[in-house]
A and B are shown apart, each in its own frame.
Chain A
């Protein structure tokens, strides 16, 4: 029993690390643009398919796949934002959020139209799981976790030390003051969407490496991503990471007690509890 618990916690940690990347993207977009962008699911799917296509066609290695998937998803995100959501911003956050759900469906079906509904897998060698004590862990999972950590570290350095990263944080903190200081919030918004959608795309690739991909890849994790961001505090990037790890572990541990069908309920329960008890989230700055 204890071994089962430890195994599920470990699996949850792995899942959490994968969810964390799109959750960071989601939270970053929320921090700067102040609306929840549910099209993040489609950006994850698009990244996954871009990565898979590069891998299947050119046999590119993982680092190249991640970099290109980041750019493809980022560009699709910026284009979709400028054509659709940006025009709706004056109508308020709720309108944009609803429109992003519609945008998500459109993009998902565009992927379906191009690639079909089949499951596809990356061309990876099949490796036996490692056994550490009584726990099983796949080499691919370890690689994914290291990639996820590397991406988070790069992002942290970018936001913490680069002038552009600081400008992003300044706009997220206080857009009016940023404008007074000569920072153009529109440019920062575009850059943030590129980064957020790009991160979702990278998350999609990591998920694809872990299992397989299809046009629903992003949609399946959307609730977990949203729950992670709410749990950690919308707009907080460290919060998104903490939230993702907690959601990942809670989902996996729930399998010990409930049938797998109920796994998705964990996300809803987490959102419900958090909004009731602490609406600003674990690490959030302000209430929703």
Chain B
């Protein structure tokens, strides 16, 4: 019996050691591992390499042909735009255009371009290159140059080279956000020579004037960009290269950062923020908020047709509790459809306070004294403005329950969810929006104008007065007047309560302690030229 036990024990140990065999041998070589990256980077002089971990791969590296944030994150560093946003806001600053002049009627803008700038392929950046890009966007398929068509088509009549470094834009009507639009990532100026050379494959061979040059793209895995030695801004970029690595799972991404394999990550779960802040080797960053999370109340469905019912639901939601529970405090309760940083934000709007009693009263007035039943659609994916759709939906469900409204939580896979809500098939649904260019038009018109029903006005909100204000603001060249118009529109929207605006969140990022000069941009596309790793 003893002998038998001995054999068994031996066999058990053998199998156990086999399981661990792979790992055990590693311990000798892992000591080298941390400095492996270090030796590599020190060979490349001072700057070094950082690995940026993110949740998804880019779709296209030709910014003009995509609408996707993960693409702009990379192209922001390869291409530059005529105007640039501020470091952490959407104020307009000079970019590839040093200065500009506009006529009083707002129909002609003359841009004076920066001299001595070269594309990564060695060709010159000049007025012809600008004209070439605009003509490419204008002449191409509507669907492939999507942003050009949504921002400029029908308004921009002509782009003309006056001399080598001067370009004139002619508009058919004033376009208030003209210079803001120019600063958007999709309008990065590309090398005409490279576009002609690569044709359809330009998306995989991007050439711009930016601080980094494209080097390699392994789909669904990584994109490498390297320092542009000829960059026109003295001393920039500070890094030698940046590797964007796809790590789809949020917790796994934090694990990679903690283990030191990546240097900077985005898409950090708010629930992981405390543990990252408790780690002496790491630091967190928060992206200034340019988003809104909301519960849309489809204005054409059942009891939700009644304004009083929608107002009642607004009174039912405890926004602060949501912020404390799901956003680690890194969010602000929303009262308007757009965040504070957008010019034209109306701070005089008084939000529906959290007051279940008042909500019940309103329901009673609307004839729903005993409440009603509806579906509550929970977002199936995590977004910076909505970290956990399911759990937030459960909290909302409890809020609604307290005023007698019974909601059934429903969810679909993401494209299905969007299509069904767009078709007006949902009662109450969770959704959100991140701004493109920091203009009020990009929130109010896009999300709540009657023209946008069928695209982004998912709540089917229709108000002629609001529509008139938004259209007027769209074409007014006078910024002060626009802000006034948007202010009025927000008051009307608040009264009609097409949504329950929930929060404006500050998306969390994290990095190694040694990262300096990283300033997350509200648009989600970060310029990494000033980043250093010490």
Whether A and B are associated in the same complex: the answer reads: no
**Could you list which residues of chain B lie within 8 angstroms of chain A, going by C-beta atoms?**
none
| A residues apposed to B, CB below 8 Å | none
